A and B are shown apart, each in its own frame.
Chain A
Amino acid sequence: MKSKDILVLGLGIEILTDDGIGSILTKIMSKKFKNSSITFKTNHVGGFDLLEIIDGYKTVVFIDAVKSNHDLPGKLVLYNLENYSETSHLSNIHDISFLSALELGRKTGMNIPENIYVIAIEVLINDIFSLNFSKEIQKVFPEIVKSVENIIDSIIKKNLLSEVVIN
């Protein structure tokens, strides 16, 4: 069993066109960093459920889709809690928001990670069932993989900027 040091949690539904980009990237990263102590997981839940998954880790990196309609598909932004911005799955309006979940976790004595990062990737289509990315995401996907790999490498080396816009 790996240590509860760093968790990379990919979010998203892989059968919803671009929605599952976080999950797919996480699976790719788990192979690239298979000799590291990082734990890689995927899911498509938010709110309460995330608390249970991240409990006890020191550092958590979420990889998730975002559809702001303001940026070009494939644009990748790294957030932390100080400049937090919602992504597709972190919050669950069926129960609670991500930030409320963290506050609830802290209030109730859970071991909430000290470092929380969110890698948000702008997507184009996240509401149509399909096993393939949109053409726009397919085109830039190799660059996204490289960027995510660099971020995770930086996290391992503890050399992470608080916010970076990669592409």
Chain B
Amino acid sequence: MPRPPEDSRSQTAEVISVESLGADGVLLRVRPQEPLPRLRGARFFMLRREDRLSPAIPRPFSLYDQAGDELVFLIKLLGRGTRALGDMQPGARLRLIGPLGNGWPTFTPAQPLVMLAGGIGSVPFLVGIADALREGVAAEDMTMIYGAATAAQLFEFERFAALGVRVLAATDDGSRGFAGHALECLAVEQEEGRIPPDAWLYACGPGPMLAAVERLSRNTGVPAWLSLEELMGCGVGICNGCPVPTRPEGPLGAWNNAKCCVEGPVFSTDAIQIAEN
């Protein structure tokens, strides 16, 4: 049975600050009781307030940034769980379980790559881009395409743009950058020769976008990795609440589904099947 990562712990963390971002985002900065080493992009933590009965179960959040011994989460306010976290006051404590999940795979030097972010799916790329640069991917071989419905939902676009790699905006309403989806933007960039056709793909975003990346990778044979978000009850591989269908012929095909929390959240598209063909 897959186990939670060896470096994961259940501890509490102190809220340092909660800062509003745009219409429906918050930056939550916390200091864990026990400091953590530098973590890979796309690893995640389960967070829960303990000062009230509800929400009863923690919620998974990808690591956004680390600053000294503080962890930073970029949270889109969607329901009771996220709002409860967004209402926290500095000095309060919350339950912090992690780091969990696998994170992005080790990046391959000299291999052009594209990071495709859809809305709040940008979160695992801030650290991910730094990981890739550290692991020898040249800045000019990397493009991030950051898509969202509107310019106001391109959370912290300038921070990504300041990382030294090419970052393109794509908005559904054309309010910033390319008018259309991140994948449509990718097609144009490739057609016009600014991104090589064999660039590997790393994607995080809404389900339909990830399914489209899976189909693209399947059709072109270009390797792709998806960082998935699923409902999770525990985050540590116990509850079986976050099944991801596997491809029978793929590396995880021995069982019909994988656990997103302990076998992901990053999966290569040859291992899983989220698109309906």
A and B found bound together: no
Residues on B lying within 8 angstroms of A by beta carbon are none
